[in-house]
Structure 1
Amino acid sequence: MQKENNRIRVDIYGMEYQLRGKASVDHLRLVAGLVDDKMREIAGANPRLDLNRLAVLAAVNIADEYMRLRQEYEELLKILEREPDRPQGRLDL
């Protein structure tokens, strides 16, 4: 059975957006909050940035954080797979 799409209206950097996805409403709110927080953080340090540049810099910063966390995750998986008591293969954490 396919999960239904949830819809939610969120405010990101003063603009209203409608998000839709299979994730929970709480998850969609958290994602929107992360984007809003990142945009506000960057705008605080660079108050003259226009909205487009601000959005792109927020996306680049979030992508960088994601890639670093993914690399750490992959390194942890390798460590766990080397332990003799652990089953081999990918772990679902």
Structure 2
Amino acid sequence: MTDVTHEPQLVPLNGIFADDYSQLLIPVMSDDTLAVVAEKIAHHSEGKRVRKRDKAKVVYHEGRKVPMHLTVAEAGIGPLDHVRVDYED
């Protein structure tokens, strides 16, 4: 049996940041951590339509808070899934 190395894959996500009114299609990679995903999604809203706060960000997928050290693939997040990024309480 041959050892197959899986290359990172592009995973387009439907993402929204905090209380922004606009959901966006955000391209991320399957090996991005959720911390990276949070920054990629926040980039489009934070300081523009959502006030920037000095707080850590968290990612929610299917109603659950996802550990920020996991990758997109490890968290089971797939193409066109909806994720919400918000500030930690």
TM-score range for the pair, normalised by the shorter chain length: 0.3 to 0.5
Higher relative contact order (CA 8 A, sep 6+): 2
TM-score (norm 1): 0.32
Q: Point out the structure with the larger strand share.
A: 2
Q: Which of structures 1 and 2 has the bigger CA Rg?
A: 1
